[in-house]
Amino acid sequence: MSTQESRKERIDRGIKVRSDGLYALMSWRELCYLTLPRFILITGMLSLPFLVPDMYWQRVISIVCIYAILALSFDFMAHYVGLVSLGGAFFIGTGGYIAGILNTYFSIPPFLTVPLAAIIGGGFCTLLLLPCLPLKGVYFAIVTLMYPLFMARIIEAFDIFGGTDGIIGIDSFSSSFAEQYFVICILLIFLFGLRRFVTTDRGLIFTAIMDNDQAVKASGINITKYKALAVYIASSMGCLAGACLTHIYMWSGISQFALDFSILPIAATVIGGSGTLVGPILGCLILVPASELLRDFGTLRIAFYASILVGFILFKSGGIMEFGQRKYEQFERWTKI
Amino acid sequence: MTDPILKIDQLSKRFGGVKALENVSFDVFPGDVLGIIGPNGSGKTTIVNSITGFIKPNSGNIYFKNKNITGKPPHKIADMGVTRTFQVMRPYYSLPAYKNLVIPLFSPRAKRTGGWRGGGTLGNRQTIAIDILEDIGFERDSYIPFKKTSTLPTGYLKRLELARCLALKPEIIICDEVFSGLSMSEIASMVPLIERLQDEGITIVMIEHRLRELFQVANRVMVLNFGEKLIEGSPTEVMADKKVKEAYFGSEEVEEVMTYA
């Protein structure tokens, strides 16, 4: 049909409108409509370890989750606080090294080193990022990009924590199932926790700081305190992911400060849909396995990887989540003008 | 004679070579509505920014209730009850209108005082926010308080600026051009609101270009020109002063002022 005589219109589905308010609780159909996407995500994630064929792909699941936690923290910082952070590698490396040190030097078991690395690492990262907090947008991004390079060079130059060899002989998780369910559960807890958190009154302050920090100051609120809190939340998530990574590879080294950890979460956020929190996770679920599949192409891998990214940006620039949400909530039809 | 609630003493501020303020001193007394007028670039907004801590003056002191607040960060000054509106409105565009007020209601000051009429603590901030909005002229039964802020007309945004101050239970509101950009009918409904706030015991400092409406509400007016204080007095004194007319319109066109004011 030509666009001269008709146009496409989008209308909210009846069930979407009916399940908007509190009344949705009174009907099973509306309740199912609301919970179905969440149910699919949770059961899908939890059944992943059973669905994949072999050890190799089970390891990929853990890596997906680690990147997903990182992407989640990036999305939270960039689209709910307004701090675009390229410090993913900084968080991963710090968390990884802390877990490695705690495990080898103090022989603390993995299930304790991971939360400890999150708490201590979060504090450490926040402390180092504190001077950059007055910066905004791309300026904050550039400074945070400096930190992973800085840490890697410090470790290399002073030859501390194993220098370029890294820390070896770190305990792994007790079994591969324990490893996968540990990271999957942490990912889901962070996802739903953050989604909840950003809608609370305290979470609204973050959005307000992103919109207009001057007005928040004029409202008698110390914005540095809240920015530091946001950085602490995001960086302890990243450190936790890094600690898991260390225990999965039984090794922590300088390559954990590699910029892949800063860049891939951003690509995943772009593909999945920015500001949705779920989107980055879907992005990681696509990008990380895709990058593994493309290994067969050898050196052309990066070229294919790049074309996937460009394709998404050209044809689905809003991200998968935005597209999926629109399809789920609205229907389209052609009408005569 | 009561003590001034706000005392500005020899305030000076330079931006590079530009003298924005030059030894400006004035007092604000409790219950006052002080108008500050002056041509563009005369330093009016610089005064607001200095008092509320958004810029640090080069010299001079600002006292609030005999406490020196010069150079304190903005959130500390707002926490003491000295609040401001912005000339270019600064709402949170991605939030619905009523959620704009959840932010100030979450501040330490609002937690202490409970917001404009009290009660704005723990959990019911969103209800209190809607109450405040209704109080300053958002129609409750309409969808306006729930609309996205970016879709609201200027009149509501200006009220939202005032509401943000009120949510803090302020002692002083410094209004930076609340009338600018509004239609005549919007201004007409804004004037009684300012008068009502004064009746409630809130001290108001108004920076304004709309002289007719300002002279209706203000009991004292100060005129600035090129960063210096020209004159301070009652609206009638200021209107009659020749220097003021010259500052605004040049020395030749005195007749036009008479017809305007």
In a domain, B161, yes or no: yes
ipTM surpasses 0.90: no
Which chain B residue is nearest to residue A217, measuring alpha carbons? B75
Return d(Cα A273, Cα A75) in angstroms, integer. Answer: 9
Say what angle helices B154-166 and B184-199 make with each other, to 10 degrees.
10
pLDDT at A161: 87
**CB contact (8 A) between residue B164 and residue A219:** yes
Residues 78-97 of B with CB under 8 A from A: 78-79, 83-84, 86, 90-95
Phi, psi of A53 (to 5 degrees): -70, -50
Same domain? For B143 and B162 the reply is yes
In a domain, B225, yes or no: yes
**CB contact (8 A) between residue B95 and residue A208:** yes
Three-class secondary structure of residue B27 per DSSP: strand
In a domain, B190, yes or no: no
In terms of Cβ atoms closer than 10 Å to its own Cβ (0-12, 13-18, 19+), residue B114 is middle
In a domain, B33, yes or no: yes
Same domain? For B178 and B72 the reply is yes
pLDDT at B261: 47
Q: How far is A52 from chain B (nearest CA, A)?
A: 41
Query: Which whole number is the average pLDDT over A92-119?
Result: 92
pLDDT band at residue A2 using 50, 70 and 90 as cut-offs: low
Query: Which whole number is the average pLDDT over A115-133?
Result: 94
**CB contact (8 A) between residue B75 and residue A217:** yes
pTM to 2 decimal places: 0.88
Same domain? For B70 and B128 the reply is no
Query: Which whole number is the average pLDDT over A311-331?
Result: 87
CB contacts, 8 Å: B105 with chain A: 201
Query: CB distance from B103 to chain A under 8 Å?
Result: yes
Which chain A residue is nearest to residue B104, measuring alpha carbons? A219
Chain A residues with CB within 8 Å of chain B CB: 201-202, 204-205, 207-208, 210-212, 214-223
Same domain? For B67 and B104 the reply is no
**CB contact (8 A) between residue A212 and residue B90:** yes
pLDDT at A102: 93
Q: What is the tally of structural domains in chain B? A: 2
CB contacts, 8 Å: B49 with chain A: none
Can you read off the two tokens belonging to residue A64? 């997906």
pLDDT at A183: 93
Same domain? For B76 and B103 the reply is no
CB contacts, 8 Å: A81 with chain B: none
CATH classification of the domain holding B119? 3.40.50.300
What is the span of the domain harbouring residue B259? 1-81+172-185+198-261
Q: Among the listed ranges A92-96, A326-330, B243-247, which one has the minimum average pLDDT value?
A: B243-247
pLDDT at A75: 94
Q: Which among A204, A214, A222 has the least Cβ separation from residue B103?
A: A204
Same domain? For B163 and B221 the reply is no
Q: How far is A195 from chain B (nearest CA, A)?
A: 16
Same domain? For B255 and B231 the reply is yes
**CB contact (8 A) between residue A218 and residue B74:** yes
**In the Cβ-directed half-sphere of A73, how many Cα atoms lie within 13 Å?**
35
Q: Where are the alpha helices (DSSP H) in chain B?
A: 44-51, 74-80, 102-105, 108-113, 125-135, 154-166, 184-199, 211-217, 235-240, 242-249, 254-260
Q: Among the listed ranges A215-219, A275-279, B66-70, B256-260, which one has the minimum average pLDDT value?
A: B256-260
In terms of Cβ atoms closer than 10 Å to its own Cβ (0-12, 13-18, 19+), residue B108 is middle
Can you read off the two tokens belonging to residue A291? 């990058």
Same domain? For B74 and B113 the reply is no
Same domain? For B62 and B100 the reply is no
Query: CB distance from B192 to chain A under 8 Å?
Result: no
pLDDT at A130: 93
In a domain, B193, yes or no: no
Task: List chain B pLDDT tens, one digit each, 261 residues.
Answer: 678 899 998 899 998 888 888 889 999 999 889 999 888 888 888 999 999 999 999 999 999 998 999 889 999 999 999 999 988 888 888 888 888 888 888 888 888 887 776 655 556 788 888 888 888 888 777 788 888 888 888 888 888 888 888 888 899 999 988 888 888 888 888 888 888 888 888 999 999 888 888 888 888 888 888 888 888 888 888 888 877 777 776 655 545 555 554
pLDDT at B138: 82
Same domain? For B98 and B224 the reply is no
Return d(Cα A24, Cα A31) in angstroms, integer. Answer: 6
Return d(Cα A24, Cα B97) in angstroms, integer. Answer: 25
Same domain? For B92 and B162 the reply is yes
**CB contact (8 A) between residue B84 and residue A207:** no
Same domain? For B136 and B176 the reply is no
